[in-house]
Structure 1
Amino acid sequence: VNQTVSNSIAARWWYWARENLFNSWLNTILSIICIVIISNAVWGIFSWAILNGIWEAKDRRECFAILGKDEAGNPIHGACWAGVREWFNNIIYGRYVKDEQWRVNLGISILIVWMIPLWVPNLKRKFLIGFGAIGLYPFLASYLFLGGERSWFVSFMVSLAIITFCYNTVDWLGVKAFRVSLADSLRWKMVNRIFAEKQHTFAVMGLFAIIAVILAFLIQDWILVDVSWVRMGGFHLTLVISGFAMTVGLPCGIILALGRRSRLPIIKAFSVTFIEVFRSVPLITILFMATAM
């Protein structure tokens, strides 16, 4: 049976290749050239990363010394994985305090779990989930990453983010496990007894606000160690910057695109000027020159 299945799979692959890669003499030549190029590239990467890779070394010079030279006297190229392993923590976290790196892990894990419902089918209010991630998560993440003293407003927003995160998690887990929104069931059972149907949304919003105030009062004494923003770096900082850029850039881009089609001359001129200037002079170039100078 296994041999029959493997033969049928091979036959399908051969039929696909014959119909798409070798269906004419020109496609056959191009396909062979591409196969040779890809094979050489894959073998080169495999040789550089695995066969010639150095896993034990004190520094980069020792990596070069271990690699040595070939018979023609040319230096042998290989990956220095010893340096990557030694500096892996700095690559991921930069100079972030080692004892506080759990906060970075927790913040990124919360974001991943927060965004999972957007890919869960048959789940309602995905727009609100995304809006909560954009409007509330930054307060929670910024406090986790930076810590220190916080105002009542920040405490309230952090509490609201925690409540929203728990609500969303219970909701999508219920839909995934039982095909029933547990959050909706609890919400309507609690609200239906007190408020009319038209007042459900305001009642739930008020309930969230009350719980957030209570939670903010309870966590007021929960203060994380202050970590200066200059210690942020590595892959963590890349995620923060890219997340902020996408979160702010998408709505700003939509607003500017709408402004470019506006009939008001001032709004249209501003939108067109802003779009063309930042398209011709990318912001990354400005940041690079500012750093270099």
Structure 2
Amino acid sequence: VNQTVSNSIIARWWNWARENLFNSWVNTILSIICILIIYNVVWGIFSWAILNGIWEAKDRRECFAILGKDEAGNPIHGACWAGVREWFNNIIYGRYVKAEQWRVNLGILILIVWLAPLWIPDLKRKVLIGFGAIGLYPFLGGYLFLGGERSWFMSFMVALAIIVFCYNTVDWVGAKAFRVSLADSLRWKIVNRIFAEKQHTYALMSFFATVAVILAFLIQDWILVDVNWVRLGGFHLTLVISGFAMVVGLPSGIILALGRRSRLPIIKAFSVTFIEVFRSVPLITILFMATAM
């Protein structure tokens, strides 16, 4: 049975290739050329990364010494994975304090779990989950990454972010694993008995705010070690900057695009000027580098 299934799969693939890749002499020649190019690229990468890769070495010079030269006297090229292993911590965390790197891991894990429901089909309240992450995660993530003393407002926002994160996580895990939604349970079993239907949203918001105030009191003495922002770096800093740029850039772009179509001269002039100036910055950089280099 397995041999029959494998033969049918091979036959389907061969028929597809014959109909799409080798259906004329021009396509046959182009397909063979592309296959040779792909083979050479893949084999070159595999040879450089795996076959000739160096995993144990003290420095880059020792990598070159181990690789040596071929029979023609040309240097053999290969990946120096020993250097990557040595600098892996700096690549990921930059100069972040090693004893506090668990905070970076925890912050990224919280963000992944918080945004996971957005990729789950047939799950309700995705818009609220997304806006909750955009509005609240920066406070929780920012405090995890930087630490230090907190104001009352910061304590409240961190507590609110923790509550909303836990609520969302329990809600979507329960909805997918046990077919029981925490949000629906709160709404139907508790809120409906106390408040009118029009007051449900305000009741839930008041509930979250009240619990956040209580939690803010409880975590007031929970203070993380202060980490100077200049120690942020590596892949972690890249994620922070790219996330901030996406969160701020999309709504800003929409607002500026609408402002450019505004009938008010001041708003239109500001939007057009802002867009044209910042749109020309990459071109100016390219022209400058082309002239200087």
Asked if these proteins are the same fold (TM beyond 0.5), I'd say: yes
Change in 2 beyond 3 A, CA 1:15/1:25 = same
Whether 1:207 aligns to 2:207 is: yes
Q: Secondary structure at the match of 2:8?
A: helix
Show the counterpart of 2:159.
159
Show the counterpart of 1:91.
91
Give the residue type in structure 2 aligned to 1:115.
L
Give the residue type in structure 2 aligned to 1:47.
S
Between the aligned partners of 1:154 and 1:127, the Cα distance in structure 2 is 24
Which segment drifts farther, 266-275 or 196-205? 266-275
Give the residue type in structure 1 aligned to 2:184.
D
Deviations along 1:192-229, one digit per CA (max 9) or x if unpaired, are 22111111110110010000000000000000000111
Q: Is the 8 A contact 2:54 2:78 kept in 1?
A: yes
Gaps of 5+ in 2: none
Which segment drifts farther, 260-269 or 138-147? 260-269
1:166-205 aligned at under 5 Å gives the runs 166-205=166-205
1:187 CA displacement: 3.6
Show the counterpart of 1:219.
219
Between the aligned partners of 2:105 and 2:256, the Cα distance in structure 1 is 35
Q: Is the 8 A contact 2:146 2:228 kept in 1?
A: yes
1:272 CA displacement: 2.2
What TM-score, normalized by structure 1, do the two folds share? 0.94
Show the counterpart of 1:115.
115
Between the aligned partners of 1:249 and 1:54, the Cα distance in structure 2 is 42
Q: Is the 8 A contact 1:147 1:223 kept in 2?
A: yes
Between the aligned partners of 1:240 and 1:154, the Cα distance in structure 2 is 19
Give the residue type in structure 2 aligned to 1:274.
F
Show the counterpart of 1:237.
237
Show the counterpart of 1:246.
246
Gaps of 5+ in 1: none
Show the counterpart of 1:10.
10
1:66-85 aligned at under 5 Å gives the runs 66-85=66-85
1:285 CA displacement: 4.7
Deviations along 1:51-93, one digit per CA (max 9) or x if unpaired, are 1000000000100111111111111110000000111111110
1:242 CA displacement: 0.5
1:27-46 aligned at under 5 Å gives the runs 27-46=27-46
Percent of residue pairs identical: 89
1:178 CA displacement: 2.1
1:139-158 aligned at under 5 Å gives the runs 139-158=139-158
Between the aligned partners of 1:152 and 1:73, the Cα distance in structure 2 is 69
Moved over 4 A (4+): 283-286
Q: Is the 8 A contact 1:70 1:76 kept in 2?
A: yes
Q: Is the 8 A contact 1:159 1:215 kept in 2?
A: yes
What TM-score, normalized by structure 2, do the two folds share? 0.94
Between the aligned partners of 1:284 and 1:244, the Cα distance in structure 2 is 24
Deviations along 1:84-130, one digit per CA (max 9) or x if unpaired, are 01111111101111110000000000000000111122222211111
Deviations along 1:18-46, one digit per CA (max 9) or x if unpaired, are 12111221111111111100100000000
1:283 CA displacement: 9.8
Give the residue type in structure 2 aligned to 1:267.
I
Q: How many residues align?
A: 288
Change in 2 beyond 3 A, CA 1:163/1:284 = farther
Between the aligned partners of 1:243 and 1:53, the Cα distance in structure 2 is 34
Q: Is the 8 A contact 2:103 2:144 kept in 1?
A: yes
Q: Is the 8 A contact 2:187 2:200 kept in 1?
A: no
Give the residue type in structure 2 aligned to 1:49.
A
Change in 2 beyond 3 A, CA 1:198/1:274 = same
Q: Is the 8 A contact 1:59 1:83 kept in 2?
A: yes
